[in-house]
A and B are shown apart, each in its own frame.
Chain A
Amino acid sequence: MEFRATLSSLRTTPLDALHRRLGARMVPFAGWSLPVQFPAGTLAEHRQARSAAALFDVSHMTQISLHGDMAEALERLVPGDIRNLPPFRQRYTLLLNEAGGIIDDLMVARYPGRLFLVANASRAEADLSWLATNGLPYEHHEDRALLALQGPQAAAVMARLAPSTASLPFLGVATCAIAGIENCWVSRSGYTGEDGFEISVAAGDAESLATRLLAEPEIAPAGLAARDTLRLEAGLCLYGNDIDMLTSPIEAGLAWTIPRRRRDNLDFPGATTIHDHLVNGPPRVRVGIRPQDRTLARAGTGIAAADGTQAGTITSGTFSPTLGGPIAMGYVRRDLASEGTPLVLLVRGQRLPALQAPLPFVPHRYAAR
């Protein structure tokens, strides 16, 4: 067994000292040192988020403001509806390249006088240079932390500490104070499939806020490993695994992010390819996969069809704590993409039976819209 050594050149988040005090195991992730798990362990942290509330440090994510009226400018880079995004609402969208591939997936919120973007840490450089190349001036909030409070009891905690957030709908955003800590940018969102909040806070206030939240009986800290099992159960894409520069939104099952107006106007990067995929169907499709025995099928596992022909590749695979068995997502040939289709997974020289399964594996439990 090999264990990766920690690198010294990693960036640390404003909660680094807190993580270490809590006994977190830190790992390198996208150039950052982040907690992969706390002493409770991944399975307990996962259950914490599904049954109560878990606090994640996602400060590595890129926080960007586009000041002024930038909706039309941003629409030149994404296929989503940004122009009609109402104030204090947030939307999931995609930065696309000219081939229709995905540069990054991100959340866009409209605050008065600006758009606020949250994008992946691993794509920070690509995203910022893409904005610059396309003439969009931006403010990169390197002085802010980002906390994700996720779980069915998150709203009850927020109702005590920041009463104004209790009425936030799913994908609603607000600026408010939380437990007396001013200027928090709160959105009712997350990446676990649960109700929850993402809270942007000044770096200098991050530890007080996290400590205050962790003092609440419903909340315990959780790490990257639990975040991964939660998002995969929720059927959500991880950039670099399930989507990348070579996947189109249609292949990825993200056609819902492209509204009618954008499909008609085809005025975004890669529109030709995406139009073709919409009209004629994409060559491959992202699907859910349930291995039928207990062996886990990790990213990179080959998929064969029942007739022995090549079918595709697993892009994410893990153990589902909720289902008590393996789950995976991957891309398969379009002709094989229907629920219940039997597949064969090629794991360590064995041929293991699997079935295509609907996504998400665990139903979403978001707040009302």
Chain B
Amino acid sequence: MAETRYTKDHEWVRLEDDGTLTIGITDHAQDALGDIVFVELPAVDRDVVEGETVATVESTKAANDVFAPLGGRIAEINENVVDDPGLINRDPMGEGWFWRMEPADEDAFETLLDDEAYEAYLETL
């Protein structure tokens, strides 16, 4: 069972069996954004550092940056959310994923928030 972790920027990061990471935004994030109408994703093969803006998601309300939760190389992007941004509202943790990446540091995943820590963080908002 792949493990999912979170960031305080409301991204989820799933560690796949092959060691790559799948990244998307959480249900809390999609709900707060409202109807998502546009997504801009990074170029495949781009090297990114932790905290760098790699994607933009726009709702009817505002534009928001999505940051790289960890450093690494972009391996794949989800063209389906570009064609149908509403997918992120409908299935944020599943079909609405943003990109896959190969982490520069395999241990960095462990530094992200686990389920419990993210839930606790949401309680503080």
Q: Is B60 part of the binding interface, using a Cβ–Cβ cutoff of 8 Å?
A: yes
Which residues of A (7-60) have their CB < 8 Å from a CB of B?
Answer: 25, 36-37, 41-43, 46
Closest B-chain residue to A326, C-beta based?
A: B38
Stretch at the interface among B14-22, B41-49, B61-69, B99-107: B61-69
Interface set of B (CB-CB < 8 Å, partner A)? 9-10, 25, 29, 32-35, 37-38, 40, 56, 58-66, 89, 125
A-side contacts of B29, CB under 8 Å: 1
Interface set of A (CB-CB < 8 Å, partner B)? 1-3, 25, 36-37, 41-43, 46, 225-226, 229, 294-296, 298, 318-319, 321, 326, 348
- Pairs A–B under 8 Å by Cβ, sample size 8: A1-B64, A36-B34, A41-B89, A42-B59, A42-B60, A43-B60, A225-B34, A298-B62
A-side contacts of B63, CB under 8 Å: 296, 298
* Given contact pairs A42-B60, A225-B61, A294-B38, a sample of 5 additional A-B residue pairs in the complex whose CB atoms are under 8 Å apart: A42-B35, A43-B60, A295-B38, A319-B38, A319-B60
- In angstroms, Cα B32 to Cα A226, docked, is 16
A-side contacts of B34, CB under 8 Å: 25, 36-37, 41-42, 225
Residue contact B60 to A1, C-beta cutoff 8 Å: no
Residue contact A42 to B32, C-beta cutoff 8 Å: no
A-side contacts of B60, CB under 8 Å: 42-43, 46, 225-226, 229, 318-319, 321
A-side contacts of B25, CB under 8 Å: 1
Residue contact B40 to A36, C-beta cutoff 8 Å: no
B-side contacts of A326, CB under 8 Å: 38
- In angstroms, Cα B19 to Cα A112, docked, is 76
Q: How far is the CB of A200 from chain B (nearest CB, A)?
A: 28
Residue contact A1 to B38, C-beta cutoff 8 Å: no
Pick the contact of A1 from B35, B40, B66 — CB < 8 Å? B66
B-side contacts of A321, CB under 8 Å: 60
- In angstroms, Cα B13 to Cα A246, docked, is 47
- In angstroms, Cα B59 to Cα A296, docked, is 10
Residue contact B35 to A36, C-beta cutoff 8 Å: no
Q: How far is the CB of B92 from chain A (nearest CB, A)?
A: 12
- In angstroms, Cα B29 to Cα A2, docked, is 9
